[in-house]
């Protein structure tokens, strides 16, 4: 499984990365952001999900998200994006919906590498089949298939297990029953890795505290039952709300 690369291991490196990040931001004129119509966009059934994270540490209000939003809206098959800011790490990333696997692959191999390359940092990307997990995700109130969000999230948790299990062979009904008892869980997207069949999820929680409890305490116990390694991230949803709304994120329709 992937391990987080910390680009800010010392003060000198942190200063360099931040100066480069801000320099790239200032290099272009940020146009006024266009707000997508979330109520219309979320009705489009996703064919694939994409998760990204850039190995940089920067306050989100200093990130050139408005400029990046405009570029992403032009990508083939793009439906919506939820911006991510790492809790305590200040890493920057996103969770995206695309209309097809083909366009999701095109995004992670074509456009997306140009973003971290401009800052001189590494990045992570993952592509997931949105069709195969639909029933399991809708059972946990997923907002990506047309169900309106009832409450704004306070945090997101990304999880992935180092296993290869075709989702059709996974007893998700039993796992969902347990997840429905999880404190603070608002809704969940199940994730099934394209080609890899890794199992994971993108979960919305009411507070950062409940998200941390799940990622730090509950999820490792799940990984232990699978006898496998795990990957988790916690993101503060309040910091990225404005940027996400402008990208039709289905988590912010209230």
* Residue for token pair 């916690």: 234
In a domain, 2, yes or no: no
Res 149: pLDDT: 86
Name beta bridge partners: 192: 199
Provide the domain limits for residue 35: 11-252
Res 20: pLDDT: 52
Res 28: pLDDT: 39
In a domain, 106, yes or no: yes
Res 43: pLDDT: 54
In a domain, 5, yes or no: no
- Whole-model pTM: value is 0.85
pLDDT means over runs of 10, the chain (254 residues): 38 47 43 41 79 96 95 97 97 98 98 94 97 98 90 97 97 97 98 98 98 98 97 97 97 89
Phi, psi of 22, rounded to the nearest 5 degrees: -70, -30
In a domain, 198, yes or no: yes
In a domain, 64, yes or no: yes
In a domain, 1, yes or no: no
Number of domains in the chain: 1
In a domain, 232, yes or no: yes
Cβ atoms 20, 8 nearer than 8 A: no
Which CATH number belongs to the domain containing residue 214 in this structure?
3.30.70.100
In a domain, 205, yes or no: yes
């Amino acid at each position: 499984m992937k391990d987080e690369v910390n680009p800010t291991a010392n003060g000198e490196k942190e200063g360099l990365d931040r100066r480069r990040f801000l320099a790239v931001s200032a290099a272009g004129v940020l146009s006024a952001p266009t707000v997508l119509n979330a109520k219309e966009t979320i009705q489009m059934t996703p064919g694939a999900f994409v998760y990204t994270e850039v190995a940089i540490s920067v306050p989100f209000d200093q990130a050139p998200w408005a400029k990046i939003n405009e570029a992403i809206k032009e990508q083939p098959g793009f439906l919506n994006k939820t911006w991510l800011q790492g809790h305590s790490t200040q890493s920057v990333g996103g969770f995206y919906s695309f209309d097809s696997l083909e366009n999701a692959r095109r995004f992670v191999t074509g456009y997306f590498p140009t973003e971290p390359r401009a800052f001189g940092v590494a990045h992570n990307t993952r592509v997931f089949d949105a069709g195969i997990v639909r029933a399991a995700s809708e059972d946990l109130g997923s907002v990506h298939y047309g169900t309106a969000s009832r409450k704004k999230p306070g945090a997101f948790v990304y999880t992935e297990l180092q296993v290869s299990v075709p989702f059709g062979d996974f007893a998700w009904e039993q796992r969902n029953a347990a997840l429905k008892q999880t404190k603070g869980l608002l809704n969940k997207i199940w994730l099934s890795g394209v080609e890899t069949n890794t199992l994971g999820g993108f979960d919305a929680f009411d507070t950062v505290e409940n998200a941390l409890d799940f990622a730090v305490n509950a999820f490792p116990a799940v990984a232990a039952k699978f006898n496998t390694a795990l990957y988790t991230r916690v993101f503060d949803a309040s910091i990225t709300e404005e940027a996400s709304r402008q990208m039709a994120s289905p988590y912010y329709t209230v």
